[in-house]
A and B are shown apart, each in its own frame.
Chain A
Amino acid sequence: MLKMESITKIYRTGMVETRALRDFSLEVEEGEFVTITGPSGSGKTTFLNVSGLLDSFEQGHYWLDGMDVSRLSDREMSRVRNEKIGFIFQSFNLIPDLDVFDNVDVPLRYRGLKARERKERIEKAVGMVGLSSRLRHLPSQLSGGQQQRVAIARVLAGDPKLILADEPTGNLDSGMAREIMDILEQVNEAGTTIIMVTHNPEHAARAHRQLHIADGRMVDLERIAPFPLNRTEAVTRQVAG
């Protein structure tokens, strides 16, 4: 699904260069649920930005879904983001002026879908996160957990191959956080690859694989449990069905 080879990302501010990623390599299989931990400033967010094509990098290669995305134009990158990647943020990042329906609508608009298809997708996605009754609510009228569910619906409506989640539970209390994790697990079980940055060891532990970034490098590449049994079953069922 995702393959990075020797990626180096440098930030320049004035005279100072910061190497946010150094010789960074990683491979994630389709259908995997990977969590990434690491101290603040270690390069987690940079990794997510680079893998989400929100940021460019200086050296190395990056393949996404079998396609070399190392050197794309802005327009091509935007298209890949729109069609293949879904983002979930710590601060939800819903657009405050838009109601639930319109927020979920945003990526579909950029994909240029017909009104009818958009409507179907939106209603289905919002239904999946259990907010069908809130379609016309504004983000400010929703709780944090609900907002994050809308953000997930926004991802689901786009039907991406890869979800990048940046501390999706960081702003939520433990009950709501668990709800969100449950939804993410369901989505993953349906076949979508998820890479999640988290500080929460309990949530990290729910993944197939836990990675650790420190100082811009992948420290621990060891697979903790390569596809635990119960999950392998789930994936095969999905593939078979």
Chain B
Amino acid sequence: MLTYNLRLAWKSIRRHPVLSTLIIAGIALGVGVSTTFITAYHVLASDPVPGKSGSLYYVRTNSWGAVDNPFREGPPPLLSYRDAREILKNGVPVRRTASFASRMTVFPPSQKSQERPTREGVRLTTSDFFAMFNAPFQYGGPWNREADAKPEAVAVISAALNHRLFGGQDSVGRTFRLDDRDFKVAGVLAPWRPRVRAYDLVVDPLAEPEAVFIPLEWVGPMEIRVSGSQYNWRSPEPGEEKLPFLDRLVLQESLFFQLWVELPDEARVKAFQSWLDAYVAEQKKLGRFPHRPDNRVTPLLALMDELRVVPPQTKALAAISLLFLVVAALNLIGLFLGKFLARASTVGVRRALGASRWTIFVQHLVECELMGLAGGTLGVLLALGGLAILNRVYGDGPDGVPFFQLDVPMIGGAVLLSLVAGAIAGLYPAWRICAIPPARHLKNQ
């Protein structure tokens, strides 16, 4: 019966080309617009570290030392070097990492030395970083924990940088110069473009990952400055500028570190939280942390919400676009109604020949859903166009993969939307046509 209904629907669609085009265009517009904006929302709001986000927690505490506390809604979003280093020593989390971003000069390997060096984004972090945020490796892997402590001159580089420096070959063990020091490649990432950089929700969550990752402890020996947000409350005292960089860093208490811990179960979350509370209480005794303690261990997804990582306009647009689809579908009710009632006599004949009301209802609903699906298919194409426009602003990833892309769940969603639109537009007309008494239109045509 379904094939029969589909055939009837197809005939009916072809019989009224203008009307059918209007209806399909209406659904296509509705589905296209809503798929575009729901995809945009979905891409930004979906779990950035699938399977792991539940056990990743962001650590904040209020170390602000000035009397005036500008952070009214909670602790500062970043940590000082001093606290980050202490918290990293705690053994409760199964993994932990602190990081900050800088910009440094990358010099091509010696045989290519006639090329100009480039300025690259560099993230200083620890070896656990890569496993915690599912960074995919093409060659090699993260450095080890000894390299963290020493620190060793090892680096993980992006696929794009590996392509530029080493022609895309397996460059593990080869060296390149970063500012004034040679670094050995420990690993090369596969092309990696998380839509939201989970590890950098505070400063620049929508940017591309950095080109170079090196052990955090290079911050002192190489005197690396942060590029991005930092908060300072302390004015340096006279003569302080003559101290070694690392001592100044500790004294200065600049806040620019983001610290994540991996706590796989509730017991560890509790244990870590109470350790953190104890740590802060102890620091208070030393004269630090003058403000009311506010130590937060926040789950990743909750932090995304709190920091409004997804631009609120994206949500508003997704909501508005769904309403748009509803209006488009409502508009089609009238068209379907006209179309169906125009063939009331044919329906009367079918009823006389033994079609029940239900059969007629299904026949017409199938027609609506067929047009819905046709519109939905076109709508997906429109959505591709819409996303291409959005991508002009958000840009492509290092691997040339556009920022917003339709994935299988979203295409499935678009199909579902087109079915819903077909149902909204078709239910009432189909009901009306099947409810007409069969005898009414048989006598005269």
Contact = CB atoms under 8 A, between A and B. Distances in A.
Please say whether the chains A and B touch (CB closer than 8 A). yes
A111 B1 CA distance: 10
B349 A78 contact: no
B11 A81 contact: no
Contact of B358 (A75, A82, A112): A75
A98 B14 CA distance: 13
A78 B437 contact: no
* Residue of A52, A74, A77 with most chain B CB atoms under a 10 A cut-off: A74
Interface string B323-360: 00000000000000000000001101111111111110
* Residue of B15, B345, B437, B439 with most chain A CB atoms under a 10 A cut-off: B439
A112 B3 CA distance: 12
Contacts of B442: 54, 87, 89, 93, 166
A142 interface: no
A74 B356 contact: yes
Contact of A111 (B346, B354, B358): B354
Contacts of A93: 345, 348-349, 352, 442, 445
Interface in A72-88: 74-75, 77-79, 81-83, 87
Contacts of B114: none
B12 interface: yes
B89 interface: no
Contacts, number: 82
B356 A106 contact: no
A74 to B, nearest CB: 5
A52 B353 contact: no
B4 A109 contact: yes
A25 interface: no
A95 B346 contact: yes
B349 A75 contact: no
A154 interface: yes
Nearest to B355: A110
A55 B356 CA distance: 13
Interface residues of A, number: 32
A81 B443 contact: no
Contacts of A158: 353-354
Interface string A167-182: 0000000000000000
Contacts of A52: 352, 439
What's the dominant secondary structure at chain B's contact region?
helix
Contacts of A78: 351, 354-357, 359
B438 interface: yes
Interface in B128-174: none
Interface string B1-42: 100100000011001000000000000000000000000000
Contacts of A90: 443
Interface string A88-122: 01110111111000000011011110000000000
A110 B357 contact: no
B113 interface: no
A110 B442 CA distance: 19
B444 interface: yes
Interface in B394-440: 437-439
A42 interface: no
B12 A97 contact: yes
B356 A87 contact: no
Contacts of A59: none
Contacts of B443: 45, 89-91, 166
A132 interface: no
Nearest to A109: B4
13 contacts: A49-B439, A54-B438, A54-B439, A74-B358, A78-B356, A81-B353, A83-B354, A87-B442, A89-B349, A91-B443, A93-B445, A109-B4, A166-B442
Given A78-B351, A78-B357, 17 more contacts: A54-B439, A55-B437, A55-B438, A74-B358, A75-B357, A75-B358, A78-B354, A81-B352, A89-B442, A91-B443, A91-B444, A95-B349, A97-B11, A97-B346, A106-B349, A109-B1, A166-B443
